[in-house]
A and B are shown apart, each in its own frame.
Chain A
């Protein structure tokens, strides 16, 4: 094997590796609204329903999110490794996950153990907005950056 063919193979491999990350997003339109509304209802149910009912709601939520993720993955067709993702694409997703985690878990822990000034109803509304709206924003930024990277590398999306 010649040096030039080794070089061109390595270059093609790098383009193929990046093509996984810059592939056009196929996240179904209903995924983020469903995640936002489902999470919001799950949190609000603690205030609206009997505490025992919350256990049923949380179990239904976990099963529902699991099923939704499975259907979403079937649409998307790939589960890329975050470890090798270019930093410019990883950043909007990391910020989104961090904010969502702080709002949902931080908010729930605050309300449950520290008598925070917000109720579960307010928390549910905020969580819904963060997951739905924030998720859409993160995906939009991710898409724009993926397009830029694909253009730079000459990768067809």
Chain B
């Protein structure tokens, strides 16, 4: 079974990764609006993901009108997929255990 990724496991970062995984590219303000995070908090989370090599940033424009777009890297996509697989496996294990317990209880 794949392990849960501790970096992605944090709720805010998991939500960011989910949105990034759903899009080719996402702008900073969109993420902030969807997740209800402050600019500094979102910057901190994005830096952590970028340092891990899971996300990369691209600035467009200059000055006050400039925007920052993010997208997942290949390793970010792989990490996200394996984290989701680990979560699903956890649920499947729990269902199997429940099933086993019910069978034993019936016997």
Q: Which residues of A contact B (CB under 8 A)?
A: 1, 3, 6-7, 9-10, 12-13, 16-17, 19-21, 23, 70, 74, 76-81, 84
Measured between beta carbons, the chain B residues less than 8 angstroms from A79 are 23-26
Contact residues of B between 13 and 60, Cβ < 8 Å to A: 14-15, 18-19, 21-27, 29-30, 33-34, 60
Complex Cα gap A21–B90 (Å): 28
Q: When the two chains form the complex, which single residue of A3, A23, A76 contacts B94, counting CB atoms closer than 8 Å?
A: A3
On whether A78 and B15 interact (CB within 8 A), knowing A13-B84, A17-B22, A20-B22, the answer reads: no
Q: When the two chains form the complex, which single residue of B18, B29, B94 contacts A16, counting CB atoms closer than 8 Å?
A: B18
Q: Say yes or no for B74: interface residue by CB 8 A criterion.
A: no
Q: When the two chains form the complex, which single residue of B4, B26, B84, B91 contacts A3, counting CB atoms closer than 8 Å?
A: B91
A85 — nearest CB in chain B belongs to which residue? B22
Tell me whether chain B's interface is mostly helix, strand or loop, or mixed: helix
Tell me whether chain A's interface is mostly helix, strand or loop, or mixed: helix
Q: Closest Cβ of chain B: how far from A20's Cβ, in Å? A: 4
Complex Cα gap A78–B35 (Å): 14
Contact (Cβ within 8 A) A77 B30: yes
Measured between beta carbons, the chain A residues less than 8 angstroms from B67 are 74, 77
On whether A77 and B90 interact (CB within 8 A), knowing A16-B18, A19-B34, A20-B23, the answer reads: no
On whether A1 and B4 interact (CB within 8 A), knowing A12-B15, A74-B67, A77-B29, the answer reads: yes
Q: Say yes or no for B7: interface residue by CB 8 A criterion.
A: no
Chain B: interface residue total (CB-CB under 8 A): 26
Complex Cα gap A75–B25 (Å): 13
Measured between beta carbons, the chain A residues less than 8 angstroms from B60 are 70, 74
Q: Say yes or no for B101: interface residue by CB 8 A criterion.
A: no
Contact (Cβ within 8 A) B30 A78: yes
Q: Say yes or no for B78: interface residue by CB 8 A criterion.
A: no
Contact (Cβ within 8 A) B27 A9: no
Q: Sample 11 A-B pairs with CB under 8 A, ordered by A number.
A: A3-B91, A6-B87, A6-B91, A7-B91, A10-B84, A10-B91, A13-B15, A77-B29, A78-B30, A80-B23, A81-B24
